[in-house]
Amino acid sequence: MMRQNRWRSSRVMLGTLVTLGLLVGSASGATKPRIVVVVPFSVETLDRDRQWMGEGVAQILFLGLAQNPVTVAVENARLRPFAKPEGWTETTVIQATRGIKADVALFGNIVRRGSDLVIQPRLLELKASGADVVSLEPITLQEGEFLNRVAALPLTYARTMKVSLSEADVARMERATRPTQSMRAFELFARGAMAAQRGGQEGSEAAVEMFTKAIEADPTFAVGQYTLGTVHQALNNRWKASAQFRAAAQLDPTYPEPMKALGDLFLAAPRRLFDQAVEAYGKAIDLRPFYADAHVGLGDARAAKGEVDGAITAYQKALVFNPANPRVYMSLGKIYYSEKGLYYESVTAYKKAIELDAQSVEARMGLGEVYEDKGLYREAVDEYKKVLELEAKHTGALYNLALVYEKVDPKEAMVQWEKYIALASQLPSEKDWVDVARQHLRKLKSQVKE
């Protein structure tokens, strides 16, 4: 029998149900984390050779804020829809903070005054009455002092936000915000981060070049090694990514990000390396117990192994440490529908994931499949079209869209099958599915002739 939905067939099947109320209730008992937007500081008045500094400040802030359980920085990918060519202004920062439903935004300017640089940090907090913007004490420095002076900024922001920090939190922040002593290595690292955020093949290849030069300038730069691995991973260079993650972990055994990244590689491996993924995520969590994304990964890995109770526990902890994590709700959407057939709960979870991350292709695919299964074809078509708006060459969305149109508009289905075949026939991994698509297309053409 022909499989009608190529994506649904690969879902993980779980043996029990987790209720959304249970997870959210679990999260509500803890100190509520603050969701923080961090953007590059504005540098339009600096000459081109120094404009990397705006990204450099943002990277230091990311490194520092990750060291305590209260401040959860939003990943860069979720900021892309709000970014403007002219850079981050107060208006665009407010739009991004509201759009992502974050609590706070960290932004500012870097300007030159004579021979000095002046960093002007600002903090935006969303309140019921509107956006409250606070200017922090400016930092005046000589160019060679950049790394040492910026390293104190995450702690200054945390105290401005009245985050309660233990001595251990402060020590971790101070250590994390000094990832390298080499100004040249950090400059190359910041330039690489800017290239990576442009996206696409060209941006990723430029990022690889910059990150490679950064770790050549400082071979002990663990953060640089790890970040180079993330770009290799984005380019589907799994072995190179793994090598960089392992190098980073060896250089800094207290750094959890490389272990979490290895867990992601193991979980996605064709050989089903679920035990290794569980072990890697566990090590990341041992190093940073409040690492929400590692708990999500652990939940996914345990779910893949059929360890339902372990998956539930991991998802609960993920929501405790980051109740605004779209990946958790996406995983819940899969659980509700694929195992128990709970339509409303599944749709609610997927919609929550999309509310938190409107760019989530996977959540929209999942929601489209639920609608399709329930015979809500117009709603399914809308979701698959939204996926294609986000990712025009998403073969899964084209395939599923053609299937849905077979039920409501055979002529449009033929158009969609032809689009899918034209795109997917160029990809060796799609060969079997292209053969299936051609069968569907032949059948439809014969029916139209009749």
Do 215 and 231 meet the contact criterion of CB atoms below 8 Å apart? no
- Which amino acid would we find at residue 23? L
Distances (CA, A) of 443 to 138, 400, 407, 411, 436: 70, 17, 13, 12, 11
Sign of CA dihedral 178, 241, 271, 436: positive
Average pLDDT of span 331-343: 80
Do 415 and 401 meet the contact criterion of CB atoms below 8 Å apart? no
Tell me the CATH number of domain 30-309, given options 1.25.40.10, 3.40.50.280, 3.40.50.10170, 1.10.472.10.
1.25.40.10
Task: Share the mean pLDDT of the chain.
Answer: 89
The count of C-alpha atoms lying within 13 angstroms of the C-alpha of 346, restricted to the half-sphere facing its C-beta, is 22
Average pLDDT of span 215-234: 97
Q: Select the more confidently predicted residue: 131 or 155.
A: 155
Cα 32 to its chain centre, rounded Å, is 21
Assign 340 a pLDDT band (cuts: 50, 70, 90): low
Q: How many CB atoms lie within 10 A of CB 171?
A: 12
CA gyration radius for the chain?
23
Coil/strand/helix, residue 237: coil
Domain ranges of the chain: 8-12+323-449, 30-309
Structure tokens that stand for 284 in this block: 């990341």
Cα–Cα dist 155/160, whole Å: 9
Q: Select the more confidently predicted residue: 309 or 254.
A: 254
User: Element (H or E) spanning 347, and its range?
Assistant: helix 343-356
Cα–Cα dist 245/261, whole Å: 7
Highest mean pLDDT: which of 116-125, 193-202, 356-365?
116-125
The pLDDT tens digits of the residues spanning 12-31 come to 333 334 444 444 444 434 46
Q: Give the whole-number percent of the chain exceeding pLDDT 70.
A: 92
Average pLDDT of span 50-69: 96
Cα–Cα dist 177/175, whole Å: 6
pLDDT, position 211: 98
The pLDDT tens digits of the residues spanning 279-301 come to 999 999 999 999 999 999 999 99
Tell me whether domains 8-12+323-449 and 30-309 share a fold. yes
Distances (CA, A) of 370 to 346, 360, 365: 8, 16, 9
Cα–Cα dist 147/187, whole Å: 10
pLDDT, position 429: 86
| CATH 1.20.120.10 assigned to 8-12+323-449 | no
Structure tokens that stand for 12 in this block: 């993980």
Cα–Cα dist 101/207, whole Å: 29
Average pLDDT of span 48-54: 94
CA diameter of the chain: 81
